[in-house]
A = this chain, B = another copy of it.
Amino acid sequence: MIESFRPPTRVLMGPGPSMVHPRVLQAGARPTLGHLDPSFIGMMDELKVMLQRAFQCDYETTFVVSGPGSAGMESCLLNLLEPGDQAVVCINGVFGNRLKEIVSRCGAQPVVVEGDWGSPVDPEVVESCLQTHPDASLVAFVHAETSTGAMSDARRLAELAHRYGCLAVADCVTSLAGSPLVVAEWQLDAVYSGSQKCLSCVPGLSPVTFSPAAMQRVQNRQSPVQSWFLDVSLLTGYWGEGQRVYHHTAPVNSLYALHEALVLLEEEGLSARWERHQLHHRALLAGLHAMGLSMVVDEAHRLPQLNAVWIPDGVDDATLRHRLLDDFQIEIGAGLGPFAGRVWRIGLMGESAHRHHVLRLLSALARLLSEMGQSIAPDAPLMAAEAIYDQAGETVFDSDAPVSER
């Protein structure tokens, strides 16, 4: 007989999912409503308004894909590409590769701009590529590469795309609510994100938004979108204004949770949350430096919410991560692809970006690394992080308190 599952309580400091606020967990456990219940529809309307504010855009076609970020990625690409189309795909990590894979699978031709892992996408290389591929209709890139911790210049890439008659599709899975993202001002045409990163909601949903230009492209399609489930024209019948047309049963309880996660974001304020990520990133960094660890990404392009750290020589990746998990209940992320075994990914996303989590991780990491033969001055990492918090003064303690207690 299989028994009810009781998960251990972990501190989630990997590349997502991040810690989920108790209010969000509670919201998801409220009684299920029908997906056409007027009360539920009212909640969807609020959700849409809050998503537009989080994305910083007024795009009418803003909704939640009933699947994880990868489903959001497919949704943006499948709806905007037709067989035979050319799409410039910028690859500087795992998720750029995934973009390319999906472009191919919808029968379009990916034109790849390869960049170094850990560096941002180079706009000049993108521009040369656009010059030599005048038929390209779309540029896809990852704003915040979760596999490397590098941030690309989404605004500049979108400008380039438009200059060459392309739509700009941006993967903002890890950037939304974690670092500045201003969808309308930057003129991004299709953006997808995930619920489980800096929104700190349960995993499984993908907020998306399509610009009017993107929706024009959808309306001008010659061929049907290859996925019925992800067809944005059908989905707007359910998420749009007026009479709601049944498409599929919405993930009702997860949407309650996302609604609450967005209420928490509004209580904190979007720019306050961006700043909070910065602050805890700086404290983490000070602590890591005090341990002699170094970062994969240079300072100018570093994401505060995803910190890729070189694993020091002589330390076994898996052993350390397992001990962190087993002895300290802390999860950090492994490296992917060429970074496997060489890099740790430390997430400071949403509810994971709090002082007590940062200090707990630094303390555990310092202890384990010392045990594994690294020379670390006792207390130095914690003191370095505390110094950052002290410098930041009172606001630290304010923004470190749970939102509900402020």
**Chain A interface residues (CB < 8 Å from chain B):** 1-10, 12, 14, 16-17, 19-20, 23, 25-35, 37-40, 43, 46, 49-50, 66-71, 73-74, 98, 101-102, 104-107, 194, 196, 202-204, 224-229, 246-254, 256-257, 259-260, 262-263, 266, 325, 331, 336
The reply to whether B74 and A17 contact each other, CB–CB distance below 8 Å, is: no
Complex-state Cα separation, A227 to B25, whole angstroms: 31
Query: Is the contact region of chain A dominated by helix, strand, or loop, or is it mixed?
Result: loop
Most B CB contacts (10 A, CB to CB) among A43, A50, A67 go to A67
The reply to whether B46 and A266 contact each other, CB–CB distance below 8 Å, is: no
6 additional A-B pairs beyond A7-B39, A17-B32, beta carbons within 8 Å, are A5-B260, A32-B196, A67-B67, A102-B228, A251-B254, A253-B257
In the bound complex, residues from chain B placing their C-beta under 8 Å from that of A101 are 228
Partner of A8, one of B3, B27, B28, B39: B39
CB nearest neighbor in B for A257 = B253
In the bound complex, residues from chain B placing their C-beta under 8 Å from that of A331 are 34, 37
Complex-state Cα separation, A285 to B35, whole angstroms: 26
Known A2-B266, A20-B31, A23-B4; contact A228-B69, beta-carbon cutoff 8 A: no
CB nearest neighbor in B for A248 = B70
- Give A351 Cβ to nearest chain B Cβ, in Å: 10
Complex-state Cα separation, A226 to B38, whole angstroms: 36
The reply to whether B263 and A3 contact each other, CB–CB distance below 8 Å, is: yes
Most B CB contacts (10 A, CB to CB) among A23, A225, A254 go to A254
The reply to whether A252 and B5 contact each other, CB–CB distance below 8 Å, is: no
In the bound complex, residues from chain B placing their C-beta under 8 Å from that of A31 are 7-10, 20, 25
CB nearest neighbor in B for A231 = B105
The reply to whether A28 and B246 contact each other, CB–CB distance below 8 Å, is: no
* 6 A-B pairs (CB sep. < 8 Å): A2-B49, A9-B31, A10-B31, A20-B253, A70-B247, A227-B227
Closest 10 CB pairs of A and B: A204-B251, A29-B29, A202-B253, A70-B248, A67-B67, A25-B29, A68-B248, A203-B249, A20-B32, A34-B331
Copies, count? 2
In the bound complex, residues from chain B placing their C-beta under 8 Å from that of A25 are 29-32, 253
In the bound complex, residues from chain B placing their C-beta under 8 Å from that of A27 are 4-5
The reply to whether B9 and A251 contact each other, CB–CB distance below 8 Å, is: no
The reply to whether A68 and B251 contact each other, CB–CB distance below 8 Å, is: yes
The reply to whether B226 and A226 contact each other, CB–CB distance below 8 Å, is: yes
The reply to whether B37 and A325 contact each other, CB–CB distance below 8 Å, is: yes
In the bound complex, residues from chain B placing their C-beta under 8 Å from that of A9 are 31
Complex-state Cα separation, A260 to B260, whole angstroms: 23
- Give A78 Cβ to nearest chain B Cβ, in Å: 8
CB nearest neighbor in B for A196 = B249
Partner of A194, one of B102, B249, B250: B249
Partner of A252, one of B4, B17, B105, B263: B17
The reply to whether A30 and B17 contact each other, CB–CB distance below 8 Å, is: no
Partner of A204, one of B4, B66, B325: B66
In the bound complex, residues from chain B placing their C-beta under 8 Å from that of A66 are 67-68, 71, 204
Known A2-B46, A30-B6; contact A202-B23, beta-carbon cutoff 8 A: no
